[in-house]
Structure 1
Amino acid sequence: MDEPAITPARAGTEIQAVALGGLSPDPSWRRPILAQHQLLILITTGHGTAQVDFRDHPCRPGAVLRIHPGQAFRCTGAGLDGVGVRWTGDLPDDPDGAPTAPPGQPAHWQPDGADGEAVVAGINRLVADCRRYPDDVRGHLLVRHQLTAVLLRLALLAGPARTGGAAELATFRRLWAEVERRHPETRRVEDYATTLGCSVRTLTRACLAVTGTSAKQVIDQRVALAAMRLLAATDEPIAAVGRRLGFPEPTNFGRFFVREVGRSPGAFRSGRQESAGSGTRAPVGSTSPA
């Protein structure tokens, strides 16, 4: 059972202990859930697969998962379970503190040796203290610092991100924030360039440096990812999903989806109850190791 949440008005960041098995309303995880909070999960028992935005990650005890709000998340496997925390609000020193996961951000770690021991101990201590101090402001400060420390350790394990220079990275981050906000409205690079006060060439150069793909590909693949999430995790009609993402005509949405994902929206949805690892091509906006 989830533990009582820290009161945001008193503590600034709401942090709550969770169990992996309590995250999905369906114990068999026949389809993914759309995460509503930041999640950090430690796998404690069983072997299986965690699917984060349609990328499969093999899991055994000691594996760590980080999920961002809006991401599609699903677990399969015999006896797979774990513990962790979810949180809302800002952690000032969070190395991956974007409200949504940008391309290339890791979602899975399987550390071993001294690093693995430190991560497992850190998350277990974090969960225990979150439960022990549900209403204490000083206790909240403690668990907030513990959470930040674990996230920093995971960032060190991930190694340096594949980026260009500082200017390209800054430009890409500005673009990504706009894409997150406006991808249901426009897929035109020119519109983003106008909003950001730069040229299409500047945006393309930044995206190539950071992701290896063009600005147009970054935008289109983010739209495809949004469609995949809605098709897999909700019962919203396919035509309605297309309209939400800027496609008034279902045929245009279908052509776009096939081009980006490799199968039709209907075929993708019909396979949502298949086992993890269906071979779907994951868009650039999904999470993968850098």
Structure 2
Amino acid sequence: METSTQEAADDGIRTFPFPVELSVGGVGMQIGPMGAGRTWHADAPLDRVHRIDFHVVLLFTDGPVRHMVDFDEYEATAGDVLWIRPGQVHRFTRAGEYRGTALTMQPGFLPRDTVEATGLYRYDLPPLLRPDAPQAAALRAALAHLRREYEDSATLPPNLHTSVLRHCLTAFLLRLAHLATSSAEAARRQADTTFTLFREAVERDFATVHSVSAYADALGYSRRTLVRAVRAATGETPKGFIDKRVVLEAKRLLAHTDLPIGRVGVAVGFPDPANFSKFFHQHTDTTPAAFRAEMR
């Protein structure tokens, strides 16, 4: 027996398919106002975590509201755009007032070349987009045109109405895709800058500062921003990057100086020799003394 929802086999999160029965003329898209009571299905409460198998684009005219996408919280306000892709888990804010326009689209509604050109399945792109004033105006105009065509099902036969919708939707999505890719590139440039500043700070202070939070505070970034920047640049965590630099310096001192092992520990920020030996062993699978003996 078919139902309007599916159970995800791996995590139990409910998956809701595109509600084609709610769209004008049964086409594979919908567009209309947001609202606190809006649901994809009658049994899909907005404030519960759920997964969808279609695209959702929310263009906000008010805010702020907080929206969870794949377990990250995003705060959207007037002018922002939130793009949720098929398979992503999300949740609306229970108390949030969602105001603006909601666009939903069924996979397969657009031809393959359009899907590729618009990056519909670029899951690496950020869900939350913040267009500047000209970009926001262009998106609003394109979306308003799409909405007018969507609601006008009387002046064209169904096949032509669907074709017009595909063309209008493509125009809107091309603008949105350009915004998404340019936003991602700007974020990458910012991440590069963040990582460069972090790397310089670690090089300067690794002998005395081993805390990720201390570096984040000193640089004026949130811990989360720092984690993302370092992971994007190196594939590892900030803590891993710091520890690697500490271990490198300890190895240099053990191999190329005659400092007592306790003094080596002090030089890299471990006043207690036992803590230094434990740290060194955790990261090298050998003791400081054994490493020094191997290098001599």
What TM-score results when the alignment is normalised by the length of structure 1? 0.46
Q: Say which structure, 1 or 2, has more relative contact order (CA 8 Å, 6+ apart).
A: 1
Whose radius of gyration is greater, 1 or 2? 2
Give the helix-richer structure, 1 or 2. Answer: 2
What TM-score results when the alignment is normalised by the length of structure 2? 0.45
